[in-house]
Amino acid sequence: MPLPPAHPSRPTLSDTILASAQNVQAVLAGRSLSDSLSTTPAALRASVQAVAFHTLRNLGLAREIKLLMVKRTPPNQLFDALLLVSLALLETAIDAAETPPDTSPARRHIPVYAVHTVVDQAVGVIDGQKKLQPYKALLNGVLRSYIRERPGILTQARKNPEARYNHPAWWIHRLRKAYPDQWQALLAAANIPGPMTLRVNARRASVADLMTALQDAGISAVSSSEHAITLASPLPVHDIPGFDEGWWSVQDMAAQQAAMLLPLTPGMRVLDACAAPGGKTAHILERADVELLALDTDPQRLQRIHQNLQRVGLDGDHVSTKCADAADPASWWDERPFDAVLADVPCTASGVVRRHPDIRWLRREADIRRTAQLQGQIIDALWTTVGPGGHMLYATCSIFPQEGEQQAEQFAQRHADARRLPAPGQLLPLDGAGGVTHDGFFYALFAKTA
Ligand SMILES: C[S@@+](CC[C@H](N)C(=O)[O-])C[C@H]1O[C@@H](n2cnc3c(N)ncnc32)[C@H](O)[C@@H]1O
């Protein structure tokens, strides 16, 4: 559990580095970063998020540098994480001092401090941590040696692909195999934070209304599609006009395609089978007056569906939610067929690593097969609930083909009554139109022929 800073009102860089190390330690122990960050004191959260994200985006390199420089790492996990955070910040500090400043939007998120500030503040962390006292000289020595010996160490470290690409070796191998011409671009893109994109609620506002309100508030943004606006820089939702009024929701451009791909007409019976926290549920209801059932196995996440629908003004008798397993219709289905089913199934989330830099380190290669198996079970079960002439949209935020094209092909082979309709298939998180990138997603649409 992260400790409060020494001076809650004026956190120092040492406070940030310590809390970042505690968060990185939590991720290395298998906890998700967003979960761990939620226990970081509010006054530190923004700076810690920046430094922890940066460390996880550079973890392969920091680990390799550490291995080359510290022959025997002391058996203290917090110290280990402190070394990794300090090395990631130090490498960036030296790089920034040696190269012209890069203020492009893609680089603006990077926490850059002066080289000696990083060393002093990192070593200063130890002064307030009794259990780390024995390692003060080691940390000081490693950081100062790195400043002197960097060129050779860096060259040596980058021979390891995990250090060069900052992803686990198995992940690099999988992408290389699946995308022989694009794997390096995909790995590079995964280290650039995604933009903040807003989906405009057509029932409450238009893109033109919101663009005017943003301009009046001095917020720079572009209209990125008929229903979407992308901000030049991310902002807290309450700093953007119209959030409480339900004018818009935060949703990536690729995720916005789900409700657009699903054929919807008023009065239809729609199932959103893996619905929480309800981003796509809200979009479906913004598009058409339908009767909707939303399922999810996670009771806490399920509650957020109603909160989100209330904010956009679309909660009501036409929407019901159930905490239930989509793969077991006998436990929740009343046998009245659905006209449209959205199967936004659980996945490895390999398409959204730019927003969640911990994912690549938390996943194991075996998760792909395990998740693909679960996805197959869910969509086979959901298919039984689709009425003749009805549709099912299969969606994942993954770029591994086992959860995308291979899953869709195998489903079509298993179900003679499934006709595959045009849908984008694999969307890769690479530069889209106008330079605005979207997350990695997969979509396959099926119609029931009998
Ligand atoms: C990709 S997320 C859904 C995101 C959501 N559709 C949205 O747009 O906000 C997948 C969801 O599936 C839920 N889930 C996992 N296994 C499930 C199952 N067997 N049945 C129903 N929901 C499940 C998870 O709790 C998670 O909320």
Task: Give the count of alpha carbons within 13 A of 322, CB side only.
Answer: 15
Residue 234 has a CB neighbour count (10 Å cut-off) of 16
CA of 351 to the centre of ligand 1 (A): 16
By most ligand atoms within 8 Å of CB, the mutation choice from 199, 253, 274, 302 for ligand 1 is 274
414 pLDDT higher than 60: yes
13 pLDDT higher than 80: yes
Q: Which residues are annotated as a binding site?
A: 274-280, 296, 325, 344
pLDDT-derived band at 110 (thresholds 50, 70, 90) equals: confident
241 pLDDT higher than 70: yes
In tens, the pLDDT along 115-147 reads: 999 999 999 999 989 999 999 999 999 999 999
By most ligand atoms within 8 Å of CB, the mutation choice from 280, 287, 297 for ligand 1 is 297
Q: Say what the pLDDT of residue 1 is.
A: 45
Q: Say what the pLDDT of residue 431 is.
A: 74
Task: State what percent of residues in the chain have pLDDT above 90.
Answer: 90
Closest ligand 1 atom to 342 CA: 6
Q: Which residues are annotated as a binding site for S-adenosyl-L-methionine?
A: 274-280, 296, 325, 344
**Residue located nearest, by CA, to atom 11 of ligand 1:** 274
Pocket of ligand 1 (CB under 6 A): 274-280, 295-298, 301, 325-327, 344, 346, 378
**Residue located nearest, by CA, to atom 27 of ligand 1:** 276
Hey, which residues are catalytic here? 397
CA of 277 to the centre of ligand 1 (A): 8
Q: Say what the pLDDT of residue 74 is.
A: 86
CA of 195 to the centre of ligand 1 (A): 23
271: helix, strand or coil:
strand
By most ligand atoms within 8 Å of CB, the mutation choice from 251, 260, 296 for ligand 1 is 296
**Residue located nearest, by CA, to atom 19 of ligand 1:** 325
Q: Say what the pLDDT of residue 99 is.
A: 85
Q: What CATH code is assigned to 195-251?
A: 3.30.70.1170
Closest ligand 1 atom to 325 CA: 20
Q: Which of 323, 325, 320 is nearest to 292 (CA)?
A: 320
CA of 196 to the centre of ligand 1 (A): 22
**Residue located nearest, by CA, to atom 18 of ligand 1:** 325
CA of 312 to the centre of ligand 1 (A): 21
Q: Say what the pLDDT of residue 436 is.
A: 56
Amino acid occupying residue 177: K
432 pLDDT higher than 80: no
> Residues 371-393: what's their mean pLDDT?
98
Give the domain ranges of the chain. Answer: 13-166, 195-251, 254-448
Contact residues for 228 (Cβ-Cβ < 8 A; gap 6+)? 197, 198, 199, 200, 207, 251, 253, 256
DSSP string, 392-423: EEEEES---GGGTHHHHHHHHHH-TTEEEEEE
Contact residues for 56 (Cβ-Cβ < 8 A; gap 6+)? 24, 27, 33, 357, 358, 361
Structure tokens at 64: 């390799």
**Do you know the residue count of the chain?**
450
Instruction: Please give the CATH architecture assigned to the domain spanning 254-448.
Output: 3-Layer(aba) Sandwich (3.40)
Closest ligand 1 atom to 276 CA: 27
pLDDT-derived band at 104 (thresholds 50, 70, 90) equals: low
The phi, psi pair for 262, rounded to 5°, reads -75, 120
5 pLDDT higher than 70: no
Closest ligand 1 atom to 295 CA: 21
Class of the domain covering 13-166: mainly alpha
Q: Which of 277, 54, 257 is nearest to 166 (CA)?
A: 54
6 pLDDT higher than 90: no
In tens, the pLDDT along 85-97 reads: 999 999 999 999 9
| Claim: this prediction has a pTM higher than 0.90 | yes
In tens, the pLDDT along 292-339 reads: 999 999 999 999 999 999 999 999 999 999 999 999 999 999 999 999
Closest ligand 1 atom to 301 CA: 27
In tens, the pLDDT along 22-81 reads: 999 999 999 999 999 999 999 999 999 999 999 999 999 999 999 999 988 888 999 999
> Residues 208-230: what's their mean pLDDT?
95
**Residue located nearest, by CA, to atom 12 of ligand 1:** 274
Query: Strands 291-296 and 319-323: what pairing?
Result: parallel
226 pLDDT higher than 60: yes
Give whole-number Cα distances, 389 to 56, 261, 266, 394, in Å: 47, 16, 16, 16
Q: Say what the pLDDT of residue 11 is.
A: 86
> Chain-wide mean pLDDT for the chain?
94
pLDDT-derived band at 102 (thresholds 50, 70, 90) equals: confident
pLDDT-derived band at 394 (thresholds 50, 70, 90) equals: very high
Task: State what percent of residues in the chain have pLDDT above 70.
Answer: 96
Of 4-13, 362-371, 412-421, give the lowest mean pLDDT range: 4-13
272: helix, strand or coil:
strand
Q: Say what the pLDDT of residue 109 is.
A: 75
